[in-house]
Chain A
Amino acid sequence: MSKNRELPEVNAGSMADIAFLLLIFFLVTTTIETDSGLNRMLPSTSEASTIKEKNLLRVSLNSNNELLVENELLDIKDLRTKTIAFLDNGGITKGKNHCDYCKGDRNITSSDSPQKAIVSLSNTRRANYGMYVAVQNELVGAYNDLRNREAKRLYNSTYTELMSLYNDSKQLNKEKIVLKEKIEIVRSLFPLKLSEAEINTK
């Protein structure tokens, strides 16, 4: 008799509660983390270039964590304006390398054009990483300020706005191509030439 009897059904009423509990656990543990930072390209080992001294801005950190620009002490708060002045100089007044959008002093002893200007960053082993990142940040900031200015002049929106639009996942492919072109043009006006390699000067 008892063998014929069916097993009682398992009550599934509490299933939702259990699932909810698990759901809440995963909700709490999930951290969709996005890191952010300064993107840089390291120089390749084969790279060895010779450039003119006036096209080079030497930025270095000594072991006392002090900032030296062209071998002179400088407060880090002034680094951005100093770099902008160097990049935006446009020393050549005639010819194909003439920089017609530069608003600098046109000093012949400083950089020829933004395409030629190179910022060289070096450091001693005792320098502090936090300081180093601050210097990198200011140098990238100088480039971004100039790019923002040019993007504003050409497309009436800043370079950072163009970049955030381009990185927006909701953006259509067609518009992305247009944005990419604009970004490339602005970048070519002030190419990021920030070197950490050994540079020879002639």
Chain B
Amino acid sequence: MLHLNRKNKSKLPEISTASLPDIVFILLFFFMTVTVMKNNRLLVENTLPNADEIEKLDKRDRVIEIIVGRPTKQYTSIVGVESKIQLNGKFAHVDEIGSYVLAEIAKMPEHLRSVAIISLKIDKTVNMGIVSDIKEELRKVNALKVNYTTFEGDAFNNLQ
């Protein structure tokens, strides 16, 4: 009887939670360093087309983005409704693409410069005229690696 009582009373030692803040802080620092706050506010409508024969663009350090689309509602009164190019959070003219791409490439570390990829994020309703102009500008500055950035999906959905 006495023996049984003793057994009931002996409890498991409590797990120390003193190191919990440290663990949480480590996790916190990890996420703080990994997080990239998106500073690129979209000024244009940007619904990408669909495609299924796609390759992933996972090495972000060598990607230069060019965004094209119709201006969003709040900007139509200022810049009109024609398709516009957005570079780095600003509206830009086609002529500015060459110098922008060269400047971005110059910012990269040397070993990445030759493998820089231009990611073309173009709205699916845009006409090819402006796209051809952009490609012509890119050819002039010899930035030939491009990626037509798309959503994953059936390409026939682009035809409406």
Contact = CB atoms under 8 A, between A and B. Distances in A.
B39 to A, nearest CB: 13
29 contacts: A16-B21, A16-B24, A19-B24, A23-B27, A26-B35, A35-B121, A37-B55, A37-B148, A37-B149, A37-B150, A38-B148, A38-B150, A39-B117, A39-B146, A39-B147, A41-B145, A42-B144, A45-B140, A76-B156, A123-B128, A125-B127, A127-B127, A127-B128, A130-B124, A132-B128, A133-B155, A134-B51, A134-B159, A137-B53
Given A125-B129, A134-B158, A19 B146 contact: no
A129 interface: yes
B102 to A, nearest CB: 15
Interface of B: 17, 20-21, 24-25, 27-28, 31-32, 34-35, 37-38, 49-58, 63, 117, 119-129, 131-132, 135, 138-140, 142, 144-150, 152, 155-156, 158-160
Contact of B128 (A23, A26, A128, A138): A128
Contact of B124 (A30, A44, A133): A133
Nearest to B122: A129
Contact of A129 (B24, B128, B142): B128
A12 B129 CA distance: 63
Contacts of B35: 26, 29-30
Interface string A1-45: 000000000001001100110110011011110111111111111
A42 B135 contact: yes
Contact of B57 (A36, A131, A133): A36
B128 A133 contact: no
Given A30-B34, A45-B139, A61-B128, A38 B158 contact: no
Contacts of A29: 35, 37
Shortest 9 CB-CB contacts between residues of A and residues of B: A125-B129, A130-B124, A130-B158, A26-B31, A37-B149, A137-B155, A134-B155, A137-B51, A133-B49
Contacts of A126: 127-129
Nearest to B144: A42
A167 to B, nearest CB: 7
A26 B49 contact: no
B57 A37 contact: yes
A191 interface: no
Contacts of A185: none
A23 B28 contact: yes
Interface in A39-80: 39-45, 61, 76-77
A129 B125 contact: yes
